[in-house]
Amino acid sequence: MDFERVKFDEIIYPWRKRFKIKFSFLWFILAILIISALFTSFYTIGTNEVGVILRWGKFIGKALPGLHFKLPLGIDKVIPVKVKYIYKEEFGFRTKRAGVRTEYEEKEFEDESLMLTGDLNVLDVEWVVQFRIKDPYKVLFNLRNVRKAIRDAS
């Protein structure tokens, strides 16, 4: 068999003729795919965040703050998790607006703040739990709802 150089048009021509597709339309579709791949390839992680990188839904690593590259078109997915933010859960009250003159909700939350002591006395205790996320992988894949887990543990 003689291995001659085959021109690209000779390969495409039968298909183009069969489906009556113009060659410029194929280039247009290819350009759209390349542009969409470029736009979905770069992502930014904020200064107080860590990105959890998933490839096809499987954990493959963490991304530190800054501009990063990922595989385009939904192959890689990055979930940013705030790890330097201090979360707060309030029990027995709710803050409406924090500041110099803090305002609290008028609704009573006694069902959260009532506690039974060892000598069978009832106490009305209001408290706050503050927490930070240490391992974003564990938060994303071991808990369904972080706030509910904190409230249940407290």
Q: Is position 140 within any domain?
A: yes
Q: Is position 114 within any domain?
A: yes
Tally of domains within the chain: 2
Domain that holds residue 126: 87-153
Q: Is position 29 within any domain?
A: yes
Q: What per-residue confidence (pLDDT) applies to 12?
A: 65
For residue 56, the one-letter residue type is W
Q: What per-residue confidence (pLDDT) applies to 112?
A: 84
For residue 32, the one-letter residue type is I
In the structure, what pLDDT confidence band is assigned to residue 28 with cuts at 50, 70 and 90?
Answer: confident
Q: Is position 58 within any domain?
A: no
Q: Is 3 a residue whose pLDDT tops 60?
A: no
Q: What is the pTM of this model?
A: 0.69
Q: Is position 17 within any domain?
A: yes
Percent of all residues in the chain with a pLDDT value above 90, rounded to a whole number: 48
Mean pLDDT over all residues of the chain?
A: 86
Q: Is 22 a residue whose pLDDT tops 60?
A: yes
Q: Is position 105 within any domain?
A: yes
Cα dist. 22→12, 18, 31, 32, 36 in Å?
Answer: 10, 11, 15, 16, 22
Q: Is 65 a residue whose pLDDT tops 90?
A: yes
Q: Is position 98 within any domain?
A: yes
Q: What per-residue confidence (pLDDT) applies to 151?
A: 87
Residues 6+ apart with CB under 8 A from 142: none
Q: Is position 54 within any domain?
A: no
